[in-house]
Amino acid sequence: MFSKLKLITGNANRPLAEEVARFAGIPLGDIDLFKFSNDESFVKINDNVRGADVFVIQPTCYPVNDSLMDLLIIIDALKRASAQRINCVIPYYGYARSDKKDQPRVPITAKLVADLITTAGADRVITVDLHADQIQGFFTIPVDHLFSTPIFTRYFKSNLENEDIVVVSPDSGGAARARTLAKRLNCSLAIGDKRRSGNNDQTELLNIIGDVAGKTAILFDDIIDTGGSLIKVAKALETQGASKIYAACVHGVLSGSACKNIENSPIEKLFITNTIPLTGDKKLSTKIVQLSIAEMLAIAIKKIHIEESISILFR
């Protein structure tokens, strides 16, 4: 049944790919991927993929442009090697926050990336917690949009079962996401009312809408980058009497001094998934807990291969 199923990974998140392969019971394919001295990338697929249903596991995380270019070259190599179907498993979709033209003379880079992946020869994309739902519509090929909420739900139900929880969205834009987790945990919802005054973490928090006093607050968002915005909300929760403050973010970009900022913040623990690998000093943080999406991806890959519904993953 799975004889034509092949798994391949680039260099962006090999630990996740290896874990997915273990859950799926399918070995990773043999691939050479390196850079020449002139900084050009080279790919060679060493396994026979003719007529195969190939799944390429490659988030477009840091270094974003290298990860994206490697993905495009892998797709092209598979296409020229006569793979029957090329499925791109992109747990973290880089450039996702550039999803609209909100200023004069700026690009919609998320759409450009979708066009590049499609033009390169991809037949399907599997991704996790897109920053904006409309990115699915940027593709002219099928997109399976998976969510990590069930993974966070299982963890918090097992570890915070006797606590009075409130799920907090850092802003109104993420309210629907936070509401989904709150519904699964059967708890209340609060929303941070903030105004953005510049780029990245230059924001001014105005208020927390909802009752958080004496409760265990779970800040829930899709991406943590510098952590500035999230920490400002955490400080407001502390001011308004939250007894404990946790943060749960799907994609741990953690750029710049994010880890140091988290360590010095009121946030007791930061829960992230392994869509992006933890590297360097990030591994040493005492506050970061990483939850795995590998089993979810393995199930999705096998069900897509045999043309079965993946709706079980949303329960």
Active site residues: 194
- pLDDT tens profile 293-306: 999 999 999 999 99
Sign of CA dihedral 199, 204, 209, 215: positive
Residues 6+ apart with CB under 8 A from 223: 96, 97, 131, 249, 250, 251, 253
pLDDT confidence tier of residue 195, bands split at 50, 70 and 90: low
What predicted TM-score, i.e. pTM, was given to this entire model?
A: 0.94
pLDDT score at 299: 98
pLDDT tens for 148-182 read: 999 999 999 999 988 999 999 999 889 999 999 99
Q: pLDDT of 199-243, one tens digit each?
A: 555 556 568 999 999 999 999 999 999 999 899 999 999 999 999
Q: Which pLDDT score is estimated for 1?
A: 79
**Residues 72-104 pLDDT 10s:** 999 999 999 999 999 999 999 999 999 999 999
Query: What are the structure tokens assigned to 280, written together?
Result: 């360097």
For residues 191 and 233, the answer to whether their CB atoms sit within 8 Å is no
Mean pLDDT on 60-68: 97
Please report the pLDDT score of residue 161 as a whole number: 86
The pLDDT value recorded for residue 2 is 87
Q: What is the DSSP string of 264-286?
A: TSS-SEEEEETTS---GGGGG-S
CATH T-level topology, domain 149-291: Rossmann fold (3.40.50)
**Mean pLDDT taken over the chain:** 94
Joined together, the tokens standing for residue 141 give: 């090929």
Residue boundaries of the structural domains of the chain: 5-147+294-314, 149-291
- What is the structure's pLDDT at 206? 66
Question: Does 5-147+294-314 match 149-291 in CATH topology?
Answer: yes
Segments of the chain assigned E as strands: 5-9, 31-35, 41-45, 53-57, 85-90, 124-128, 143-146, 165-169, 188-196, 203-209, 216-224, 244-252, 269-273, 288-291
Q: Which three-class secondary structure state does DSSP give residue 132?
A: coil
Q: Under CATH, which architecture does the 5-147+294-314 domain have?
A: 3-Layer(aba) Sandwich (3.40)
Q: Extract the tokens encoding 6.
A: 């092949």
Per-residue pLDDT at 197: 59
